[in-house]
Amino acid sequence: MARRGTPSPFRAGLACRCPRCGRGPLFTGYIKLRPACPECGLDYGPADAGDGPAVLIILVLGAVVVAGALIVEAKFQPPMWVHAALWLPTILGGALLLLRPLKATMIALQFHHRAGETPHSRY
């Protein structure tokens, strides 16, 4: 459940909006975070999605493309250039389309669950 007065982390993330107010834009560029929300002033400094969005895209999109390529190969047995023409744009387009909203969603989930860096324990 979202905290009172805050939007759902999934709604804010998929809209690429501030996780606290849901109105301010999260990014200045394609995936570059703003320093703070222009609407409510939330500092985006501690927000770090890391490699999570890219890994998720690799796993999900990779499974979809491999399954699709296997089905197309089994049914039609097209030449390799057809596979290249089908799957390269699918991979590039899918990755570019999904990266921004997945990064925003992970940042919104971090805010929602009050996740942050923890002190490193000594082993």
pLDDT for 118 equals 57
In a domain, 117, yes or no: no
Alpha-carbon distance of 74 to 81, in angstroms, equals 16
In a domain, 118, yes or no: no
pTM given for the model:
0.86
Mean of all residue pLDDT scores within the chain: 91
In a domain, 80, yes or no: yes
In a domain, 29, yes or no: yes
pLDDT for 3 equals 57
In a domain, 102, yes or no: yes
Residue 69 has pLDDT above 50, yes or no: yes
Number of domains in the chain: 1
In a domain, 72, yes or no: yes
In a domain, 121, yes or no: no
* For residues 58-80, average pLDDT: 97
In a domain, 60, yes or no: yes
What is the H or E stretch that residue 6 is in? Answer: none
Domain that holds residue 36: 9-112
Question: Residue with structure tokens 């394609």?
Answer: 30
pLDDT for 102 equals 97
